[in-house]
Chain A
Amino acid sequence: MIESIIRTQELTIRFGGHTAVDHVSLDIAPHTFTSIIGPNGAGKTTFLNLLSGLLLSSSGQILFKDQDVTKLPAHRRVRLGMGRSFQITNVFPNLTVLENVRLAVQAKAGVHYQLLHHHRKYSEFIDKAIALLETVYLCGKSEQPASSLAHGDKRKLELAIILALEPEVLLLDEPTAGMAVEEVPAILDLLTRLKADSRTILLVEHKIDMVMSLSDVVVVLANGKLLAKGEPQQIMENEQVQAAYLGGVFQ
């Protein structure tokens, strides 16, 4: 019986004199949709970087399904079941859209060091990749190089890549960043469907309305510290949170 799928204990990282994430202890329950919000520079992305292994913490611990992953390299965490998206678009630009997803399917299947078989031998990978592209409405563009996609489509492609990894936990860093307003609903729709699958999702996001409508739990970071955690409505009404956003008492 696992109560929390991800647990951080006193997680801290310092850059020179600056403490970007400051003794954050947080439990993420499985099958919940958790959003992390906070003012600029609160340490949200850094926190995600620590969870996913892009950065190593200065002190504190990260447990994933009760296993200590604090020192594991990123690729090992992915294989354990943590998939992440990036704030900046992060695909393989000169490979086709299909190949982008196929590589992720191949990784999930554990086919790593196979030198001599032709990759087409694994036709089930291609089938699965196509199915995933259908999920994100990108099927018609499967043969284009990823670099030719519009920005919104690239974000969809990223989601397809992460879905291909079938992670138990999805770490999403601002999936709608830099999107034209009309492109946002498609991503919102996708996230809603992911939520319906009862996956564990951790979302860093600025768009408060989106956070409020999707989240089961909202976590607020400010100046690297955990400020509040609770249901969306609770958080909205929390004076400390409002103060953090609006800048404290001052005349």
Chain B
Amino acid sequence: MDEIANLKLLKKAEWLRPGKFLASSSWVLMVLVLILAVVPLMTSSRTTLNLWTEIYILGVFAMSYDILLGYTGIVSFGHALFFGTGAYMTGIIIKNTGPTLSNLLLAVVGTIFLAVVISLIIGYLSLRVKDVYYAMITLAFAELFFISAEKWRSVTNGADGFSFQVPAFLQDRYVFYYGILAFLVLVVLLLRRFIDSPVGRVLQAIRENEKRAEFLGYDVLKFKLISTVVAGVVASLAGIAWALQQRFVSTGVMAVDKTIDALLMTTIGGAGTLYGALLGSGLTTLAKHRLGDLAKIHPIFERWYIIFGLLYIMIVLFFPGGIIGTWKRIWNKKIT
């Protein structure tokens, strides 16, 4: 009798084990989506809704970074250039041709095309060299893009940036909120499918042991290229969403800080867990707004980033799995 009870308990525990729990079904995602879907019913404040969409968009951006950092094991310092490309492409096209749906679609198509081309070129140039040099080359290219955006004032208006009108249907705050939520869900589904696909599995193998992967007959460079293209395209889509949400684009979208934001979100939430990046986005974005508000009390709160920097260093040193990874490990220990 006791044994059966134990077995049942074990089964239940098994079910609650985060690894199984996340991997075995999509229902955690469904519950999450349901919760997020009712947010607008509880508040109609534009600021709150904006905060949530910001979390989703940066979450998508951070998840795309996780494909590189967590699933392929490469550190890029140039990820913002994809984000910025998407944002600028959208801003410039809509500003110059008018806020219509078809122009937005044109921007999306153009962005995807450009992101593929850029990631292939940079990847091809930089993926052959050691990881530290890869980080350096990507940083250098990101600087180039940043400076181009700054100097090409006739189109970008430099560091001051420019604002533009979004297509009419996106001006409704609810439409926009649900649109971005749908975008997030779509990206999560696609990326999950990607990391569980044969290619995604090979990427994880490369992260674990590049040489062994090569000696299984996999062309490592090609797989890394695929990874940078997927990450680049998703990041540029996040850039589009960002531009639409802000209705304003400036060089900030290209800055290295944006890449570092993604690095921070991914690492704090948990690299290699996908959802960690989303969690990280939530934490940093909330902190930025909440602590930023406290700056009125004391200017030190404007420097809230120090806390995240320290937290990040702690995580790299002592909790390499970030929040979700550590949580998983503790759970697994408890059960076994």
Residue-by-residue, is B215-249 near A (CB-CB < 8 Å gives 1, otherwise 0)? 11111101000100010000000000000000000
Q: How close is A112's CB to chain B, nearest CB, in angstroms?
A: 7
CB distance from B184 to the nearest CB of A (A): 19
Name, among B196, B205, B213, the residue most crowded by chain A CB atoms within 10 Å (CB to CB): B205
Query: Given that A84-B215, A103-B216, A112-B218 are known contacts, is A94 also in contact with B208, CB under 8 Å in the complex?
Result: yes
Q: Does any Cβ of B come within 8 Å of A91's Cβ? A: yes
- CB pair B209–A75 under 8 Å, yes or no, is no
**Size band of the interface chain A makes with B:** 35 or more
Contact A161 B216 (CB under 8 A): yes
Query: Known: A91-B212, A115-B226. Contact between A108 and B217, CB under 8 A?
Result: yes
Find A119's partner among B201, B212, B213, B218 (CB 8 Å cutoff): B201
Asked whether A92 and B212 contact (CB < 8 A) given A75-B220, A112-B202, the answer is: yes
Q: Is B204 part of the binding interface, using a Cβ–Cβ cutoff of 8 Å? A: yes
The reply to whether A95 and B204 contact each other, CB–CB distance below 8 Å, is yes
A18 interfacial by beta-carbon distance below 8 Å: no
A201 within 8 A of B: no
User: With a CB–CB cut-off of 8 A, which chain A residues contact B213?
Assistant: 92, 103
Given contacts A112-B202, A115-B199, A116-B193, contact A90 B217 (CB under 8 A): no
Decide if A215 is an interface residue (CB 8 Å cutoff): no
A103-B217 contact, Cβ under 8 Å, with A92-B212, A114-B197: no
Q: Report Cα–Cα, A52/B218, bound state, in Å.
A: 14
- Report the Cα distance A84→B212, complex, angstroms: 10
When the two chains form their complex, are residues B193 and A52 in contact, meaning their CB atoms are under 8 A apart? no
Contacts of A165 in B (CB 8 A): 216-217
A106 close to chain B: CB less than 8 A: yes
Are A119 and B209 in contact (CB-based, < 8 A)?
A: no
Interface centre among B193, B208, B220 (most CB of A within 10 A): B208
A115 neighbours in B (Cβ, 8 Å) = 194, 197, 199-200, 226, 230
Closest-CB distance, A49 to chain B (whole angstroms): 11
Residues from 99 to 146 in A contacting B, C-beta threshold 8 Å: 99, 102-104, 106-108, 111-120, 122
Return the chain A residue nearest B222 by Cβ: A113
Instruction: Give 17 CB contacts A-B under 8 Å.
Output: A75-B215, A75-B216, A78-B216, A83-B215, A92-B212, A92-B213, A103-B205, A106-B198, A107-B218, A113-B199, A113-B226, A114-B198, A116-B197, A117-B197, A117-B198, A118-B193, A161-B216
Residues in chain A within 8 A of chain B (CB atoms):
52, 54, 73-76, 78-79, 83-84, 90-95, 99, 102-104, 106-108, 111-120, 122, 161, 165
Q: Could you list which residues of chain B lie within 8 angstroms of chain A, going by C-beta atoms?
A: 193-194, 196-202, 204-205, 208-209, 211-220, 222, 226, 230
Known contacts A78-B214, A107-B217, A114-B198, then 8 further A-B pairs from the complex at CB < 8 Å, ordered by chain A residue: A90-B215, A92-B212, A99-B201, A112-B218, A113-B222, A115-B197, A118-B193, A165-B217
